[in-house]
Amino acid sequence: MSPELSAFVDLHSFGFDDYQLRACELIEDGHTVLVAAPTGAGKTIAGEFAVHLAVAQGRKCFYTTPIKALSNQKYADLVRRHGAHRVGLLTGDSSINSDAPIVVMTTEVLRNMLYASSPTLDNLGFVVMDEVHYLGDRFRGAVWEEVIIGLADSVQVVALSATVSNAEEFAEWLGEVRGDVEVVLSERRPVPLYQHVMVGKKIHDLFADEAPTAMPDPSIGNHEVNHALVQIAKQESRSVRDDSRNPRGRRGRGKKNAGYGSGRYGGAAHRDRRDRAPRWTPSRPEMVQTLARAELLPAIVFIFSRVGCDAAVGQLLASDVRLTTDQERAEIDAIARRHIEGLSRDDLRALEWDSFIEALSRGVAAHHAGMLPAFKECVEEAFVAGLIKVVFATETLALGINMPARSVVLEKLVKYNGETHADITPGEYTQLTGRAGRRGIDVEGHAVVLWQPGLDPRAVAGLASRRTYPLRSSFAPTYNMTVNMVGRVGRERARTLLEQSFAQFQSDKSVVGLARGITRNTDAAAELWERAACDRGDFAEYARLRQKVSDTEADAARQRRSDRRAEAVQSVLALRPGDIFKVPAGKSSGWAVLIDHGRAEDRADPRPQVMTEDRHVRRLSMTDVPTPVEAYGRVKIPKHFDARDGHSRRSLHAAFQSRLTGIDHDVVRQRRPGVDPAVAERVAELREEIRHHPCHRCPDRESHAREAERALWLERENQRTEAKMASRTNTIAQKFDRICGVLESFGYLSEGGEEVTETGRTLARIYNELDLVAAECIRAGVFDHLSVPQLAAVLSTLVYEARRSDDGRRASMPDADSEAAVQGVRRIWREVSIAERDARLDRAAEIDLGFARAAYGWADDQPLGPLLQRNGLTAGDFVRWVRQVIDFADQIGQAAGPGPLRRQARAVVRAMRRGVVAFIPAEDEDLDDELIITEDLG
């Protein structure tokens, strides 16, 4: 062991694991190192040794993290180790001692430094990339690859990752772009993890023997599921079957329990039967009491819903659960009051402080992005101190914040993935349960799954024993990235750098596998053609003739269906409100009267609103109208007809029924699809050619044909694979070229795209999903002549994105001037969208007015409570979006250059940085760190 490593080890009160020593030795030898180990295994030791080396060598070390909360936590750790004078902090809203030799920062800040060629990068020797597996995040992961590609070759990278199943692949890519890379892997958890299922008030072991995650090598052997759990599942299944046979047991079928499962882990078929096995699903107070009796507290209970987390705290408050001593309550009170110093009584009342501190004093808390950051930090500090016994959290807590527990509880094994409710993956299960077991405190950790109706213990065992967590790149070039890279290294060099991304690396590697498949198929097809050989003639030629007949007929059928659909769409659009027609298919088939065509923008796929014969008012889809329709009569639709009004519906239905009696049902006809004469003629020619082919009269014709059909299928499979390969190769570079084309058309790149124009330098300072739209708004003067509150409202439309759980209230701008400005933003968005369509790029997200009134009110110095109430926002969401508007306003001011817009944008920053927003010592983990630190970047 070297003197420097020995000195570093002596600073710690515990012995290092072998993998930690190995990683430190490789770092000291000058290698770029990837360290992958389970959560809580102590992989940050490698990063801290890089910091130690940087100080010893008189060089700088940047310690990067994906989220601000983790940056703040790491900053505090390093200050304790090295002193405040040696450590700095740079996040989107904090700039402390930025010239220090050790600087903790979010990855976005380092990316911005690289693009700005900041002098802060001088003498940089090491970059630690904590939680580097975050590059798989579909929203912000691309920043990691930008940094890895953009760092100077002289910088040594230390990448710290959770256990990923393709660590070697990621390291291979790192080696391609960074040179010499060493991988240090550890599968061993320092604290063994045992797996359980809570059924009623009893905790069962999931496995019949030792849990695989409690073994040194979790891949060894087969792991039998606890027989008692299998019997419970069978018993529940029998009770469900018995219930379905009993008509009286079918009451309450409409009570859906969405989210309990989608199949293997809590089947959808059982969602409406949760009340039939109440003894097996514990209530939340029962769950906490059971954990307490088993000495499994403190615990983190993961609930994939903010509302669910708050409801759980409320349920415990309504019960007699108290988990703290008098001394602990006093310590909690002191921590909490320190975190809210400076907040007014009105603010605390608006933030429901009394309920929060009451739950906290009982040892219970929630933790999610909807909470005020100061409240969350209070929970984190009290939990780490062992004062909080139960935290109900969303999955964001698994992102790296240091809050380990003795046990982790998963209420359900289903979560919303942005599109639908789906089973959690083995990787997500591993990430969540990795919090269980505090190193140096617990001798073992415990993962507990609550029994839910339809739960399959074998599937849960599969989740717990499969350690698959593949890392997939989310990298894609953006407008801002393009102008910054072209500005730094030129277009060709930028294109080459983008081709070095992990996304391209993974695509190219997959192409190798596809090419191997083509070779296998080609060999197999050749063998099949040999077996299909016929002594009468060329059977391959004969087989291809037969295939051509099938393909021609299939193409003609598809074309008829396409034409039929187009006719059906046009026939629906040709109807007028009040027309009576017959719906051909679907649950609404039969007579109907058209009320309206739906939204104007849905003309390609109409959603007409109709009243059916049974007086139901519903919207049809084109699956209900697969064939053209026509009107057979009319009724008058009142000008102010309201489908929600019973009297209006009854009146229309009476007129509808009266008119139906006068329709001659014998004349109602179904149009039949015709056959294209040219196609029919071509098929006849091919069939004639087949009949005259010598192989047609072979007695073994059909035997040969079976071999030939398999060979033809393999050939078609090869064609599909070749098309897939063509689409994957150079996909990143192709998108880059298309983006360059759009930027040239708007004048942000010179003709040929070789240089960034003066206008392009404006875009280079905007880090936002709608960066090009924002830059065009600046150029068009859309933001000019707005007051501070109006500008805040308009800027919010370019950063805000409504959650799926928002109440759907119709959003609008606060006044006429801001409405006029938003119309200008919309016009520019449409122009950009058309250019993207023409360039075959994904269209930019639409603007969202949902936060405009709240942003206006806050910039207008309105109080917090009424703003939260009027806009239906949680405190955490409100603060987070205000911070995003502040960051964006700062970017707009920088991008606009000297002048009135810069002054007004800075006025927005000053006006909005007040109260709970200015008070925040550390930001919410969901906040994007897009702000350029002006003092550091020049």
Q: How does pLDDT run across 265-314, given as a tens digit for each residue?
A: 444 334 444 444 446 888 899 999 999 999 999 999 999 888 889 999 99
Decide if pLDDT at 881 tops 80. Answer: yes
| Planar angle of CA 646, 651, 652, nearest 5 degrees | 100
Decide if pLDDT at 332 tops 50. Answer: yes
Percent of the chain with pLDDT over 70: 86
Mean pLDDT of the 620-640 span: 88
- Is the pTM above the cut of 0.85? no
pLDDT value of position 921: 42
Decide if pLDDT at 835 tops 50. Answer: yes
HSE-CB for 162 with a 13 A CA cutoff: 24
Q: Which of 88, 154, 96, 162 is nearest to 126 (CA)?
A: 154
Percent of the chain with pLDDT over 90: 35
Decide if pLDDT at 418 tops 70. Answer: no
pLDDT value of position 278: 44
HSE-CB for 189 with a 13 A CA cutoff: 27
pLDDT value of position 142: 83
pLDDT value of position 932: 30
Beta bridge partners of 583: 590
* Alpha-carbon dihedral sign for residues 787, 792, 796, 798: positive
Q: Identify the band that residue 667 occupies on the pLDDT scale cut at 50, 70 and 90.
A: low
pLDDT value of position 790: 96
Decide if pLDDT at 919 tops 50. Answer: yes
Mean pLDDT of the 692-708 span: 93
Q: Which of 191, 259, 272, 310 is nearest to 450 (CA)?
A: 259
Instruction: Give 510-517's long-range contacts (Cβ < 8 A, gap of 24+).
Output: 510/728, 511/725, 511/728, 511/729, 514/721, 514/724, 514/725, 514/728, 515/725, 517/721
> Of 41 and 145, which is predicted with more confidence?
145
Mean pLDDT of the 607-625 span: 89
pLDDT value of position 601: 61
CA dist 309 and 368 (Å) reads 8
Digit-coded pLDDT (tens) for 357-413: 999 999 999 998 788 888 888 898 899 888 999 999 987 665 556 677 899 999 888
Six-digit token pair at 468? 């698959």
First to last CA, the chain: 43
Of the listed ranges 65-69, 82-86, 215-219, 414-418, the least confidently predicted one is 215-219
Digit-coded pLDDT (tens) for 61-104: 999 988 777 888 888 889 988 999 999 998 766 688 888 999 99
CA dist 903 and 887 (Å) reads 15
Decide if pLDDT at 53 tops 90. Answer: yes
Max avg pLDDT among 371-380, 708-717, 867-876, 923-932: 708-717
pLDDT value of position 398: 53
Q: Which of 388, 426, 433 is nearest to 410 (CA)?
A: 433
Of the listed ranges 112-116, 527-531, 675-679, the least confidently predicted one is 675-679
Average per-residue pLDDT for the chain: 83
> Of 424 and 904, which is predicted with more confidence?
904
Digit-coded pLDDT (tens) for 795-816: 999 999 886 545 445 678 999 9
pLDDT value of position 938: 26
